[in-house]
Amino acid sequence: MRVAFEKRYRDGGGYRLYGPKMVEGDFEAGTDVEWFYFCKARDAMVPLPFGYKPVIDGDYEAHEEEGAI
């Protein structure tokens, strides 16, 4: 199963990424981006819940090594 994520810059622009899931975790303070994911129930992109971050396809192995999966 794939999750569609969008990384949106607060000053404009952004792009879509895909990954297997989201995990509990915090973002670095002072970042100028907002993360969204595609919610099937709402049929729309919605902000990631507070306290969660996306696992992007290329980052999956790194999270697995850290024990986050």
43 or 63, greater pLDDT:
43
The string of pLDDT tens digits covering residues 30-45 is 678 899 999 999 999 9
Supply the pLDDT for residue 13. Answer: 93
pLDDT for 53 beyond 50: yes
Q: How far apart are CA 24 and CA 16, in angstroms?
A: 20
Tell me what pLDDT residue 30 has: 63
- Percent of the chain exceeding pLDDT 90 equals 57
For residues 36, 60, 24 and 10, what is the CA-based torsion angle, rounded to 10 degrees?
Answer: -30
Angle CA(1)–CA(56)–CA(3) in degrees, nearest 5? Answer: 30
